[in-house]
């Protein structure tokens, strides 16, 4: 289930203050204004855009042209225009290039508790950065139970019931040169129509819990190269207890192609490979092999399909001889 996402004016200001050289000029009491998840927004208004009263943007950027336009208005028109702007309750208004804010704009912002900021950046730079930052901050998000790792340069989520050895497998993979992203509760954000970005909650960064040992700090034990901040999710390895009585129709087909399927995460179907867990099986080797096989399939090579084609070719030759 996706987690509702939101951001307040204060959070947005704090996150971008240094990067964009922001200063808070007026409307300080509006710091708790909230912008909801992208899923609740129409295509118009936009998350960020230049000053607009028809389709009021959530972050209104006030550039030199907009300030010049205000200067050309008659006093009554100007007052009505400013009233329409603040009545749309934008998350914030941002003046570009360090320009001085007009007194009536400051007064309107304070009277309506509309956050008014000024930035040293140009308008197009603010537009690009606000759109990117807000889209990412408000993108659909979910938390899954498992261990998220980088294995052979792709993001792999290891899932399965408690006690199956997910953390032990992750530790073994780390010792084999792969990297830990998040243990227990990785967070996944849909940052594009076909892309899920996985990261670790701040509380759990660098940590891995292994039964019988406790909590390990992977960065301190194995160095900076053993952990990674985030990674795109490309594959799920699901650990499942092996059923020794598994028989029946289709069993041979499973042995040929493996147990491969799809799992829906947010709105995307992610490939999932199920690995049976049983005594004596080297899960680390199996996990690496599964990832390598998946990478080959994504490049167009399927070993099982190639074997079937080879077998069909041999049968044709046998019939002709």
Bridge partners, 274 (sequence order): 238
74 is catalytic: no
User: Could you tell me which residues are beta bridge partners of residue 268?
Assistant: 265
Distance, CA of 30 to chain centre: 28
Catalytic-labelled residue, pool 6, 44, 255, 310: 255
Catalytic: which of 166, 231, 234, 238? Answer: 166
As a whole number of Å, the CA-based R_g of the chain is 27
**Distance separating alpha carbons of residues 176 and 154, to the nearest angstrom:** 15
Verify whether residue 80 is a known catalytic residue.
Answer: no
> Which residue of the set 184, 197, 206, 228 is catalytic?
184
Is 10 an annotated catalytic residue?
no
Among 44, 122, 145, 241, the active-site one is 145
Return the ∠ at Cα 141 (arms to 137 and 143), rounded to 5°: 130
Q: Which residue has the tokens 């336009």?
A: 69
DSSP string for 7-66: EEHHHHHHHHHHHHT-EEEE-GGGTT-EEE-GGG--SSS-SEEE--SSS--SEEEE-HHH
Task: Say if residues 207 and 183 touch (Cβ distance below 8 Å).
Answer: yes
Say if strands 59-62 and 92-95 run parallel, antiparallel, or are unpaired. Answer: parallel
19 is catalytic: no
- Strand extents, DSSP E, the chain: 6-8, 23-26, 34-36, 48-50, 59-62, 92-95, 116-118, 141-143, 146-151, 154-160, 179-184, 187-192, 195-199, 207-210, 214-217, 230-241, 260-265, 268-277
> What are the catalytic residues?
145, 166, 184, 255
């Amino acid at each position: 289930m996706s987690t509702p996402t939101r951001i307040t004016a204060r959070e947005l200001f704090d996150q971008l203050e240094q990067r964009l050289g922001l200063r808070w000029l007026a409307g300080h009491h509006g710091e708790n204004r909230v912008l909801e998840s992208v899923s609740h927004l129409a295509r118009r208004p936009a998350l960020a855009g230049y000053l607009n009263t028809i389709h009021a943007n959530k972050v209104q950027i006030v550039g030199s042209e907009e300030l010049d336009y205000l200067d050309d208005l008659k006093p009554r028109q100007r007052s009505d225009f400013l009233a329409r702007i603040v009545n749309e309750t934008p998350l914030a208004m941002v003046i570009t290039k360090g320009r001085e804010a007009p007194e009536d704009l400051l007064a309107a912002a304070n009277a309506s508790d509309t956050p008014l900021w000024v930035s040293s950046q140009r308008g197009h730079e603010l537009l690009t950065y606000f759109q990117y930052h807000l889209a990412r901050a408000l993108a659909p998000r979910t938390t899954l139970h498992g261990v998220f790792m980088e294995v052979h340069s792709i993001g792999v989520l290891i899932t399965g019931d408690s006690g199956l050895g997910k953390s032990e497998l992750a530790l073994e993979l780390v010792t084999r040169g792969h990297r830990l992203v998040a243990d227990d509760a990785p967070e996944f954000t849909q940052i594009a129509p076909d892309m899920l970005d996985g990261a670790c909650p701040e509380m759990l960064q660098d940590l891995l819990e292994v039964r019988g040992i406790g909590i390990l700090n992977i960065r301190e034990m194995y160095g900076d190269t053993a952990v990674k901040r985030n990674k795109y999710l490309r594959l799920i390895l699901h650990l499942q207890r092996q059923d020794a009585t598994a028989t029946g129709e289709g069993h041979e087909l499973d042995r040929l192609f493996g147990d491969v399927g799809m799992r829906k995460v947010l709105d995307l179907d992610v490939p999932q490979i199920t690995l049976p867990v049983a005594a004596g099986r080297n899960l680390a080797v199996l996990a690496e092999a599964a990832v390598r096989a998946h990478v080959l399939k994504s490049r167009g090579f399927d070993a099982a399909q190639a074997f079937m084609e080879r077998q069909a070719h041999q049968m044709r030759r046998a019939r002709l001889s």
